Amino acid sequence: MTYSLGEVEALSRKAARGAGFSWGMAEDAGKAVRWLCNWGLPGAEALAGYLDARRDAGGPSDTSSAIWSAQSGTLCPITCGTVVSDRGALDTAVDLHALAWPLLIVPHVAWIAPKGSVSWPGSQLCWDEHVRLSGPLLTARADQVTLSTTAKSDGTACKKIQRADLDDATLSRLTRFAAKTYAPETEASKTTGAGAGLTDGD
């Protein structure tokens, strides 16, 4: 079934929050999935995959270097994504060692670089006005990922679809995480939380 981009962004934001990210980080995750879905890319699947398997992935230990790695062993694509987009520009190429779900970092790079590419062994996504891809995208962990501001012109062109195409399994995986942000229902909450005091019919 297709969903609106607003729906998939909200679901992804809540899922990331439910999985333990701060609200601000979760907002970035939601926007990233929205960007990917808009281009027909499996962003929601990647987020579900990452949240399911995320254990001790972390941020880069030294962001001043051109090679990033995590003390914990695996780099988190959402944290690394925010580090990239917070810089506002990508001056030189950056190599990331052992990045989980590299697809999820792509929007963060695309937001600050009008053209560029993210590549890992066997796969590549590049963009200028268009997005082109080659190789499998749902890689759970890539040993080396290169972020660069050169866009190559090879690969299959993607089309903006302005919707999110989600299968039921992905939907229910993300919904499970999102549900952790909802407070359990209590009678007190039902009657007073929304403020029904006076009669609501007449």
Partner 1 sequence: MTGRTHIPPRSPDQVMRLARLGSFHQSRLSFMRQLLRRLATENWRFETTAFDIDARGVGHAVYTAQGPERSYSLVAFAHDLPPEDRSDRVIATAWDATFALFDGVPDDADIERLRANVPVQEEGRVSEKELTLSRANRSVRLWDHVVSRLAAGEQPDPSLVDEVGYLMRTTAVYGSGKFGAADREAIADRPECHAPFQVEMLTVYLIRTFVMDLVEHMARMQAPDRAVALTPEMRRRFGIGNSTGLGMAPFLVTHPALINAWIGAREEALSRVRSISHPTPDRVQLFRTCAARARQHAYGWHSEHPIQIEKLANLRNDMDLLNTHLETADLSADHAWNALYLWAEDRLSVEGQEMLVSLLLEPHGHLVDELSSCMAADETRVWQINGQMTTGALREILRDVYGWALALDWTQDNTQARVWYVSENKLEPRLGERFEEPLEPYEQPLCPGRDAARLYADLNADSTTGEPLGAFLLRHPEHRHMTRRAQIAALLPYAEIRDNTIDAVMMPIDMLRMKLSFFGASEFDPRSDRWVRITMFQHAPFPHELEDAFADDWALPPLNMAAE
Contact positions vs partner 1 (CB under 8 A)? 1-7, 21-25, 27-28, 31, 59, 63, 79, 82-83, 85-88, 111-112, 162-163, 179, 181-186, 188-190, 193-198, 200-202
136 or 180: whose CB is closer to partner 1? 180
Question: What is the DSSP track for 32-98?
Answer: HHHHHHHTT--HHHHHHHHHHH-SS-B--S-TTSSEE--TTSSB-HHHHHHHHHHHSS--S-EEEEE
CB of 73 to partner 1, least distance (A): 18
6 or 121: whose CB is closer to partner 1? 6
CA angle 29, 111, 115 (to 5 degrees): 135
28 or 45: whose CB is closer to partner 1? 28
154 or 200: whose CB is closer to partner 1? 200
4 or 150: whose CB is closer to partner 1? 4
How many CB atoms sit inside 10 A of residue 108's CB? Answer: 26
* Residue among 130, 103, 122, 8 at smallest CA distance from 46: 103
CB of 118 to partner 1, least distance (A): 18
CB of 197 to partner 1, least distance (A): 4
CB of 88 to partner 1, least distance (A): 6
122 Ramachandran zone, left/alpha/beta (phi>0; psi -120 to 50): left
d(C-alpha 202, C-alpha 196), whole Å: 14
